Structure 1
Amino acid sequence: MHPDPLLPHRAGPHIHRHTDGIHYFTATHPEYDRIAPRRSRTPAGLATADKSLIRRAHATGDMGAHVRAPELHHVDGARYAYFAVAAAVAADGLVDPAAWSESPVPVFRSSDSAGVYGPGHNAFTVAEDGETDVLLHHARSYRQIDGDPLNDPNPHTRIQPFGRRPDGTPDFGAPSPTP
């Protein structure tokens, strides 16, 4: 069982399970000014894990902009942290448009019955049992946003298991109800 929310006021969650089994997590900080990752042997343990400040926004200039949706990656023995942009690695056809298909309907959406709105910015890992796929996402517990949605620090990081359809594609189901 995972705490819900896993981490309050953390939009844009990202998780990386390293080969040593440690889960590394980061997300948008409510002040949009830092990257402060956590690590834990289990996804649930991230809720209480210590944070490490690895970057603070500059006071001015291009590097003084909002720090949004940071990600941590481990590639060829090197560690990388980046934010607000995405990069693709030309491996296994990931950049080949023919390798991708788009669902005609949303694969994960708001749920009035669960009281969960605006789920998004998904990340994936494996649960403590080493087999169960889990989905991290951010979502709000209210429908309407006052003002600019990018200035709303209230989406919480949530976590829930997901399954697979017979054809192997992920079945995210509906967001778990808020407590």
Structure 2
Amino acid sequence: MWQAGFLERENEEDILQPLIEQRADPHIYRHTDGYYYFTASVPRYDRIELRRAKTIEGLASAQTRTVWRKSPGPCGDLVWAPEIHCNGGDWYVYFAAAPSRDADTRNKLFQHRMYAIRNTNANPLVGEWEFVGQVDTGIDTFCLDATTFTHKGRLYYLWAQKHDDIEGNSNLYIAPMKTPWQIDGAPVMLSKPEFDWECQGFRVNGGPSVLKKNGRIFISYSASATDHRYALGLLWADEDADLLDPASWTKSREPVLQTCAEHRIYGPGHNSFTVAEDGATVLLVYHARTYTEIEGDPLWNPDRHTFVKPLRWRDDGMPDFGRPSVA
């Protein structure tokens, strides 16, 4: 069983250290083959990497394979936030990318669209990956941070996207899927930046991740700028509710995970969920920085590290995220 590795003892608390350094937007998926699969944004934003291991701690030293690289055209730059999923028996990595940039480098900086690649091999680090194409939401605006989940036999797509009629950079949307790379029906908005803590630096709701437990569907998400103000929020709905009805969802008015200056863990965000080796303990996977003195554009700062910690639970069945620095 995973035992909160990479820790240091201080003041009778377990102070977390990074599991994997310089890997932002981390996603860990435990498959039925007994392996953990890891992917994340790499500092140069030019490729998609995968690694796998039998244990969470093993991911830190596991061999890494590059399975896809940016190429001139619509997917020519800024490859962000890949996630690996097994849908319909095949492997998919969902990611966002921007068009190739010309001399006007800022002109196309935030023109991301979402894409998918597919692998039909049982081991996605061995088989060949096929570019499936754009995951079209029907809204031609900046979008990113896609994830998928299955509930009651139905596959859903969940992502962040800008809407020209709504102030801010991105909102959270959901839609059922016709295939693992095509949505079925109009997107439904579940959340937009509205509270002060969601609008620091940038008005952002992004990086959604899904957890099903205690009769509820939970969606964690990230908000605000990607510096020390970055934080996690939470939506939840009853497992029997209509997930495509925004009224089914409740939104926390306060962040559930935010900077812990005491232990120098800043801007925790863009998380995913997995389970420990016991198959029951829910683990929270997220990135954070260990300092605030960022030089230049935070976008190009490589020091967002992957952290992993157990998720606790309250008596009312709600998750307790605790502090990002303490296991």
TM-score (norm 2): 0.51
Taking every aligned residue pair, what percent have the same amino acid on both sides? 49
Return the structure number with greater relative CO, CA threshold 8 A, min gap 6: 1
Match of residue 6, structure 1, among 9, 19, 26: 19
Task: Measure, in 2, the Cα distance between the counterparts of 1:97 and 1:75.
Answer: 25
Q: Alpha-carbon deviations, 1:47-87, whole Å to 9, x = none?
A: 011111110111x2221111111100111101111113223
Q: Secondary structure at the match of 2:261?
A: coil
The reply to whether residue 67 of structure 1 matches residue 67 of structure 2 is no
Measure how far apart 1:90 and its partner are. Answer: 2.7
2:5 aligned partner, one-letter code: H
Q: Secondary structure at the match of 1:81?
A: strand
Partner of 2:89: 77
Partner of 2:176: 90
Task: Measure, in 2, the Cα distance between the counterparts of 1:31 and 1:153.
Answer: 8
Runs of 4+ in 1 over 4 A off after TM superposition: none
Task: Measure, in 2, the Cα distance between the counterparts of 1:28 and 1:96.
Answer: 32
Q: Alpha-carbon deviations, 1:90-136, whole Å to 9, x = none?
A: 38744332232111111100001121001100011111222211111
- After superposition, the Cα gap between the structure-2 partners of 1:47 and 1:94, relative to the gap in structure 1 and judged at 3 Å, is farther
Match of residue 42, structure 2, among 29, 44, 62: 29
Partner of 2:311: 162
The reply to whether residue 116 of structure 1 matches residue 265 of structure 2 is yes
Kept in 1, the 8 Å contact 2:287–2:307? The answer is yes
Kept in 2, the 8 Å contact 1:114–1:175? The answer is no
Match of residue 147, structure 1, among 271, 296, 305: 296
Task: Measure, in 2, the Cα distance between the counterparts of 1:94 and 1:149.
Answer: 35
Q: Secondary structure at the match of 2:52?
A: strand
1:100 aligned partner, one-letter code: W
- Unmatched tracts of structure 1, length 5 or more: none
Task: Measure, in 1, the Cα distance between the counterparts of 2:298 and 2:82.
Answer: 18
Q: Secondary structure at the match of 2:58?
A: helix
Task: Measure, in 2, the Cα distance between the counterparts of 1:75 and 1:164.
Answer: 29
Task: Measure, in 1, the Cα distance between the counterparts of 2:91 and 2:288.
Answer: 28
Greater strand content:
2
Task: Measure, in 2, the Cα distance between the counterparts of 1:32 and 1:2.
Answer: 28
Aligned residues: 177
TM-score (norm 1): 0.91
Q: Secondary structure at the match of 1:47?
A: helix
